[in-house]
Amino acid sequence: MMNSLLLGFFGMPGHLEMLIIAGIALLLFGHRLPSLMRSAGRSVVEFKKGVQGIEDDIDSAGNDKADD
């Protein structure tokens, strides 16, 4: 109850508050961001490769059924 009361009193953070929070986060975690983004990029590439492999398996299974 207290959390919703405080949220209603203060409201959602606006653009300026979000920029301030992002700036503080950048100051605190800025030295780790390049490695974090590199890891996230590698994860996305691996995920896309996995999805493409599954799609290829489904297509080849569909082609095998059509040949029968």
| pTM of the predicted model as reported, rounded to 2 decimal places | 0.51
pLDDT value, residue 50: 92
CA distance 65 to 61: 6
Is the pLDDT at 10 greater than 90, yes or no? no
Distances (CA, A) of 52 to 55, 56, 61: 5, 6, 14
Q: Is the pLDDT of residue 66 over 70?
A: no
pLDDT band at 9 (very low <50, low <70, confident <90, very high): low
**Domain spans of the chain, in order of start:** 14-67
Tens-digit pLDDT profile for residues 11-62: 777 899 999 998 998 898 888 888 988 999 999 999 999 999 998 888 888 7
